[in-house]
Amino acid sequence: MRLLRDPLLWLILLFVALLLLLPYSGPLFARAFPQLDRPLYQQESFIRLALAHIQLVAFSSFAAVIVGLGAGIAVTRRAGKAFRSVVETLVAAGQTFPPVAVLALAVPVIGFGEQPAMVALLLYGLLPILQGTLAGIDAVPPTLREVAAGVGMSPRQILFKVELPLAAPVILAGIRTSVIINIGTATIASTVGANTLGSPVIIGLSGFNTAYILQGACLVALLAIVTDRLFERLLRRFKRE
């Protein structure tokens, strides 16, 4: 019974139900948008688009975590502290570029498809992860590092057994922000030939089809909400531990 009262479970079920039932909702959208000849997006399966969208966000977010976390750790070490401001400036500059501009620059070099979208999402997702890593590690009390060094821990052991475990909630909060941003930003990947939940939105915008836009936008929004709730639950566990 407790499981049935779980809001996250109901959100996931709602998202799955929407994916399964949308292909059969033609009459509903035809009634809501009588002026449209084709009120239901049928070029591609909604389930296939959702899986492709999740895969694109997962791969780009994983790459952003590797780069952002690695860079954050590197510039908090003694040898990398001199490069901290440079790294922060470069990563911040990467997010100031509009994703559409990144796609426009990447397509002539990489070609159409998921690759240029991966580049855009990687650049756009780095800043929250880097900031979370820096804030989390900076928040570790210096006395804990001194105690750890005093009992014979090496710098590597201090990093993995003291600093990262204590900084984990803040780092995870940065990853959460990055992933949610990328779920929304990934919709524009359809402009360069990638299959995502943005396909109905882009086609709807170009064809003045409000129904298409609504179908794609609802799925993207619900996916972002479900993902945000999952991260919230994960953060609670880290804070309890």
- Transcribe 95-147 into DSSP letters: HHS-HHHHHHHHHHHH-SSHHHHHHHHHHHHHHHHHHHHHHHHHTS-HHHHHH
Q: What is the largest CA-CA distance in the chain?
A: 75
pLDDT in tens, 14-70: 999 999 999 999 999 999 999 988 999 988 899 999 999 999 999 999 999 999 999
Domain boundaries defined on the chain = 46-240
Encoding tokens for residue 141?
Answer: 């009390």
Nearest to 139 by CA among 158, 115, 166, 161: 166
Class of domain 46-240: mainly alpha
Tell whether the model's pLDDT for residue 3 goes beyond 60: no
Interval 65-101: pLDDT, tens: 999 999 999 999 988 889 999 999 988 887 777 777 7
pLDDT tens digits, 139-193: 999 898 889 888 888 889 999 999 999 999 999 999 999 999 999 989 988 888 7
